A and B are shown apart, each in its own frame.
Chain A
């Protein structure tokens, strides 16, 4: 079945630094990837949608200059949290779909802690 690999699983960084999270589709080409954010005991909230080779589409209220998304190939998308602050601490999850699939496969998530 479709597998999405997300790294790192956990990261701790200092305030003001940047953190990059990778999302890879291992056995299929992902025409579209999605980035979600999940706070404790809450649902997944979509941050942005990225299509390979084009600029990401951000949801209302998500700062595109703070959460940089790059989808340079059909198997890799990255999310960079720039100038991280403690309030950016959260669980970030990516998902991917191919043009032939109706389902969305999720990565295992990244727990970001900003100290």
Chain B
């Protein structure tokens, strides 16, 4: 099935640094979701975006729904060791549609 292009594929950063990752699609989405997955677990929702241009925060996390509706960004400020994991973007074009997942960004945080 279709996948969203997510970059970077992986990141190695030091504790305290800020992190940025993005997700792009060739088609328009009406909802963008960002998830974090720990090893051996299911994804956990971090932020949901429902409107083009929307900027939403959840603690140290901030995500934006791109104006073109074909992209989204996730920023993590002042990273900590527990931020380690795989971050997935996901989107769908309508309220009753199945989710399409991004390829994932693997984040490693060093002390």
Contact = CB atoms under 8 A, between A and B. Distances in A.
Interface stretch (B12-20, B42-50, B56-64, B71-79): B42-50
A60 B101 contact: no
B32 to A, nearest CB: 11
Interface in A57-112: 59-60, 91, 93, 95, 102-109, 111
Contacts of B41: 108-109
A43 B102 contact: yes
Interface string A41-64: 111111001000000000110000
Contacts of B101: 43-45
A41 B90 CA distance: 17
Interface residues of A, number: 25
Contacts of B98: 34, 46, 49
A102 B40 contact: no
A60 B41 CA distance: 26
A109 B48 contact: no
Residue of B43, B50, B102 with most chain A CB atoms under a 10 A cut-off: B43
A34 to B, nearest CB: 6
Interface string B20-49: 000000000001010100001111110010
B104 interface: yes
Given A43-B103, A49-B98, A59-B1, A102 B43 contact: no
A6 interface: yes
B31 A43 contact: no
Contacts of A105: 45
Nearest to A34: B98
B95 interface: yes
Interface of A: 4, 6, 32, 34, 41-46, 49, 59-60, 91, 93, 95, 102-109, 111
26 contacts: A4-B42, A6-B42, A41-B106, A42-B104, A43-B3, A43-B102, A43-B103, A44-B88, A45-B1, A45-B101, A46-B98, A60-B1, A93-B42, A102-B48, A102-B50, A102-B95, A103-B33, A103-B48, A104-B45, A104-B90, A104-B99, A106-B35, A106-B44, A106-B45, A108-B41, A111-B40
